[in-house]
Amino acid sequence: MSLTMSRFNKIHPNKPLDVMKYKRRYIPGLDGLRALAVLFVIAYHFNWGVASGGLLGVGVFFVLSGYLITDLLVEERKKKGRINMKQFWLRRMRRLLPAMLLMVCILTVYLTIVDPGRLSSIRGDIWSSLTYTNNWYLIYHNVSYFESFGPPSPIGHLWSLAVEEQFYLIWPLLLMIVISTIAPTRGKLFLLILAGAAASFALMAFLYEPGTDPSRVYYGTDTRAFGLLIGAALAIVCPSRKFAEPFSRKGTAWVNIWGVVGLCIVMYMLIKSGKYDESLYRGGMVVLSVASAMVIAAAASPFSAVGKLLAWKPLRWLGKRSYGIYLFHYPVIVLTGPADPNAIPNLILQLAQLTITVMLADLSYRFVEEPIRNDKRNPFRKEVRYMESSKPIKRLIMLFSVVMTIFICVACARVGSENNGSSELRKSEISEYSIENTKQTESAPLNNSKSMSSSNVLLVPKSTAEDEKSSNSSVEITAIGDSVLVGVAPYLKELVPEINIDGKVSRQMSEAKDVVAQLDSKKKLGNIVIVELGTNGPFSSEKLEELLNNFGNNREIYLVNTRVPRDWQDSVNKTLADAVKGRSNVTLIDWHSFSADKPEWFTKDSVHLQPEGAKAYASLIAKSIQTR
């Protein structure tokens, strides 16, 4: 809202009116782009097939953040000769922290009342989210973005905010050092930033292993920095102030061309890409980032076709609230969705979830985000009040943050202590189900899926004292698998007592090669080998061929296919079936067909087995290796 000179001087007697000109130009097209990105992220979490690449919406946000932050920093340095780090970080805190604290506080209250056990299970997620280290917490604890058999964390989406906040913390310092030393000109700075982006992408390509869960490279700040840096590079060569005025006819034509091309590429990838597409981690995300940069450059001009399209009023309205929409959408989906994550999407329920999300985001925007960011004394008044001093609002922010943080900490600590007894019980169950207590596990199978998910379990066959002392002892039958095999192990050992079972929760096919080498070195790799892997994600035919070649032709190999209601089930089973062709020593055990129409065999996740199902699974394996 504009102010007359007299009114401004009355409110700010010691400030020149020029300070108002320093305020950044509002770019409506960028709000429209935010709206598109967040809508596709929501559609992806709704499991809509039309948005199979909706997870890439986060990549669009990264490029946009890199552009706007770098544009702001470079412009401030140009006008003031320096970057005020303290003020920059305070602005970021005022923009991001209040809404996140509000969301986490509401979630904490809800779970404290409705599901205290769940609150206890996500305490680590909460602490890491509050410290903006959530992405590294998830990496350290091997939490997959793509695969989950238990209830998902309602704040699992905050990993992306951690990446951005880490960028906001480090980037201003790096930018000032680089500008002041080795890259004082725009050209050199642009090339240096692109080199950093190339290094980040190279690390993604190096760490990514085809046919495995890509969560490490998807979460990592180091492997996702290229999106932020591509946006930063755009800000160096195309600062927003250049787009404030109309271009020539030829210039406008070029802006329209690259904007339309970029938007088409972004939309195509959001619609057609898949989370397991190898191309995404071999350069596809870089293509998305470059295309996003093209759209941002076009949208920054209110005179371009893309800028006018994205400035559509409903998109702008959603874009202004996109941060709150992103914060609230996932908790709403997780906490109000069906217990079975594989249930057919209910469009009425999803419409209700979307409505609740937008309402919460709008309330957060009007009564928390905007008042704190713009120093409004009373958020219930429509007109803007310019404060004579920023001290009251700073105190309000501090009080708001401290109260909410204390509440969250107390609630989590209280729930954690109440659940401590059950945690100790689960730990004791796990310790009983270990290599030192094989006799007990043979007669008492583990039925607690939470216990299994908390520990790696290795079962070995019964042996005499002389066998245990011998370092050269060998076995006839070996089974290698994941948590499904862990649950089946006691029943399988009843039917095949001499079997050596190596089961590990969340094991992937990519780990099997090292497991085989370790077992072989210890003389525990039998002449008959059963491989049960594929529950936790897809793998390439090359990876399976490599494993089979390691076994050689002198062993009998049994591959057990999988029944897992996830989008990689058919791919895994096809890869296993293809591997059997042309190999006389490899047999497929068709658990998928054998367990058809037997829902009573499975636990709630439709993957792990009830006692009846575990007995059937063990019987199928035992009969298969006996009739070979």
Q: Tell me: the pLDDT tens digits for 264-298? A: 999 999 999 988 788 999 999 999 999 999 999 99
Q: CA-to-CA distance for 399 and 407, rounded, in angstroms?
A: 12
- Strand pairing partners for 529? 478, 557
Q: What is the pLDDT of residue 310?
A: 95
In the predicted structure, residue 225 carries a pLDDT above the cut 90: yes
User: Would you say 60 and 67 are in contact if contact means Cβ atoms under 8 Å apart?
Assistant: no
Greatest distance between any 2 Cα atoms in the chain: 98
Contacts of 296 (CB under 8 A, 6+ apart): 30, 33, 63, 64, 67, 231, 234
Residue whose C-alpha is closest to residue 256's, from 315, 312, 297 = 297
Give the pLDDT score at 331. Answer: 96
Active site residues: 483, 605, 608
Residues 510-531, mean pLDDT to the nearest whole number: 88
- Which of 456 and 138 is assigned the larger pLDDT? 138
> Crossing angle of helices 159-180/186-207, nearest 10°?
140
Mean pLDDT to the nearest integer, 179-183: 88
Question: To the nearest whole number, what is the mean pLDDT of the chain?
Answer: 81
Measure the CA–CA gap between 434 and 456, rounded to whole angstroms.
9
Angle at 388 between CA 383 and CA 389, to 5 degrees: 115
Cα–Cα distance list, 204 to 227, 290, 309, 369 (Å): 12, 16, 34, 35
Out of 22-31, 164-173, 190-199, 212-221, which region has the weakest mean confidence (pLDDT)?
A: 22-31
**What is the model's pLDDT at position 551?**
87
Q: What is the pLDDT of residue 582?
A: 84
Cα–Cα distance for residue pair 168/239, rounded to 1 Å: 18
Residues of the chain with CATH 3.40.50.1110: 422-626
Beta-strand ranges (E) seen in 564-621 are 586-589
Q: What is the band of 350 on the pLDDT scale with cuts at 50, 70, 90?
A: very high
> What average pLDDT does the segment 222-241 reach?
96
* 363 Cβ neighbours under 8 A, 6+ residues apart: none
CA neighbours closer than 13 Å in the CB half-sphere of residue 67: 28
The lowest-confidence range among 228-237, 371-380, 480-489, 579-588 is 371-380
Q: How confident is the model at residue 457 (pLDDT cuts 50, 70, 90)?
A: very low
**Rounded Cα–Cα distance for residues 222 and 212 (Å):** 19
**Confidence label for 25 from pLDDT (cuts 50, 70 and 90):** confident
For residues 364 and 103, give the distance between their C-alpha atoms in angstroms, rounded to a whole number: 9
For 3, the token pair is 């102010």
pLDDT tens-digit profile of 66-116? 999 999 999 998 888 888 999 999 999 999 999 999 999 999 999 999 988
Q: What is the pLDDT of residue 39?
A: 96
Distance CA 397, CA 168 (A): 19
Q: Span 446-461, mean pLDDT? A: 35
d(CA 526, CA 520): 8
**Mean of the pLDDT values across residues 387-411?**
57
Please tell me the distance from the alpha carbon of residue 159 to that of residue 156, in angstroms, as a whole number: 7
Is it the case that residue 495 has pLDDT exceeding 80? Answer: yes
**Three-state DSSP class for residue 501:** strand
What's the confidence (pLDDT) of residue 399? 58
pLDDT at 374 over 70: yes
Segment 28-79, tens digit of pLDDT = 999 999 999 999 999 999 988 899 999 999 999 999 999 999 999 999 988 8
| pLDDT for res 308 | 93
When pLDDT is averaged across residues 19-36 and rounded to a whole number, the result is 77
Question: What's the predicted TM-score (pTM) here?
Answer: 0.76
Instruction: Say what the pLDDT of residue 407 is.
Output: 59
- Give which of 628, 561, 552, 623 is closest to 588, Cα–Cα: 561
Confidence of residue 249 (pLDDT cuts 50, 70, 90): confident
233 or 515, which is more confident?
Answer: 233
What's domain 422-626's superfamily in CATH?
A: SGNH hydrolase (3.40.50.1110)
Asked whether 564 and 607 are in contact (CB, 8 A), the reply is yes
